Chains A and B, each alone.
Chain A
Amino acid sequence: MTDRVVIVGGGIAGVSTAAALRAGGFDGDLTLVDADEFPYDRPPLSKEFLAGAKGVEQLALQPQQWYDDQRVRLINRAVVTALRPGDGAVELMDGRLVHADRVVLATGGSAARPPIPGIDGGDGDGDRVHVLRTADDADRLRPSLVPGARVLVVGAGLIGAEVASTAVRLGCEVVLVDPVATPLAAALGPDLASWLHALHVRHGITAVQTTVESFVDRPAGIEAGFSGVAAPRLFDAVVLGVGMVPRTELAQTARLETDRGIVVDERQVTSNPAVLAVGDLARTRRDGVLLRRTEHWEAAQHDGARAAAGLLGAQPPAPSAPWFWTDRHGRHIEATGHMDAAARTVVRGRIDDPSFSVFGLRDGHVVAAASVDDPSAVRAARRMIDRRTPVDAARLADPAVNLRALLRG
């Protein structure tokens, strides 16, 4: 019998777990421990929030009233320093114990900092090197993004590309480096991914395929040295967007199984049955195989729903193809499924049309799709994947054919 649940971490995974527990009828004590003032949404951090168009209070995942209405005790500005499964409790930084029958870990990760010489500032203050995981990170970076500022973005994945887009719109001179020629090709397919990467250049960003080998603090800026032919350059600010490191320390100290993430089963339960893990830090083992961690917003939300269902002894929600979005240079991109599993791709419309999409196919079925300013194409594709709807590639490629009609078969 579960009477008391404590959730550690107030991102989308933690808040979704709390919401799903109450929606599923959980009537016991529910506590959410969050490091910040209140749980807030992360996707805007690289976009509207970084640009200064939104304040942090506008990012609140739930209004304050919600915590009262749902009887969620929010312990804010608090960090859990130890799990005490033997005592049925977690310990806070100030030594306080919060008792619980079940603990849900949802603390996500921290930004990766590659071991580049000089990355921590040398004898300078190191203030010019930034990462972006939290509202505080964005607040620190924002004053550097002034017109004419020289900004280096390292990594052209989702966060790096979004920061580069925001910075160039604010008038910065942006250099975006990535070691691969076509970032996101595995997720979006090579055609759409190369169009998307070229969009940076069309908006005035200098995109270079290279890696940073050194940073040196100079009076006039931070000098970045690159591998290959690119000459060293001076920048006013550097933003690292090279991935995250899951926060597994609490789990490791409590001797839970970890492997570049906290290992969980399909109900998000760790190697200790009293402890669950959800969101970016959880790594699922299915049929004996460790899957890759997913770091997407909706995946974290679904983790929360699965964890809650497991705790309540309810049927977990039906799985669905993975889905994510990214916004850059005023374009809305969505993707679903596993593009790297596709045997072939078809383009619906034409690359560079105001809106278009790409479908990945295998054995007469859709396995993935990606769209530019055509979210309905991805919503249709996602249902085709989930329902295993057989499709005709030629009709899929024809923008005149209604996708909802194709979905109905």
Chain B
Amino acid sequence: MNKGIRVAALDDIPQGEGLAVDRTITGTDDDIALLRDTDDTVYALDDTCTHEDASLADGWVEDGYVECPLHSSRFCLKNGEVQGLPATKNACPHRVEVRDGEVYLFPGEAP
């Protein structure tokens, strides 16, 4: 059974912030952003904003959303759904699990 890729320790991601995991590790087309919400739940989305070239891992994470660091488009952490302009496309979500303080990523798997 697929146990996922161990990509970080939970403590590597400050609350309300993100951490980008390189595509050479995830095997995906884009890097994947691990995003730790203000309630400490960790989510994963494709890292590059669907609007312009910005890393969502550098965004502002709060109350279920990540805000892009360039133009403030917001994406739902759970499903990647875009909430407002300038982005118009959803971000691709990935399944992520935290076990014993370690973060496991399942690239390409729906959450």
Contact = CB atoms under 8 A, between A and B. Distances in A.
Interface of A: 12, 15-16, 19, 41, 43, 61-63, 66, 298, 301, 323, 325, 332, 375-376, 379-380, 402, 404
Contact of A404 (B16, B69, B85, B86): B16
A332 B85 CA distance: 19
A119 B58 CA distance: 45
Nearest to A327: B70
A32 to B, nearest CB: 14
Interface in B67-96: 67, 69-72, 84-86, 88
B46 interface: no
Contacts of A404: 14-17
B104 interface: no
A12 B72 contact: no
Contacts of A332: 70
Interface in B29-77: 58, 60, 67, 69-72
Given A12-B85, A19-B85, A62-B88, 12 more contacts: A15-B85, A61-B85, A61-B86, A63-B88, A298-B72, A375-B58, A375-B60, A375-B69, A376-B60, A379-B67, A379-B72, A404-B17
Contacts of B72: 298, 323, 379
A233 B17 CA distance: 51
A301 B14 CA distance: 31
A101 to B, nearest CB: 26
A362 to B, nearest CB: 24
A325 B71 contact: yes
B25 to A, nearest CB: 25
B87 to A, nearest CB: 11
Nearest to A20: B84
Nearest to B83: A23
Contacts of A325: 70-71
B70 to A, nearest CB: 7
Contacts of A379: 60, 67, 69, 72
A28 B71 CA distance: 31
Most buried by A among B14, B60, B67, B85: B85
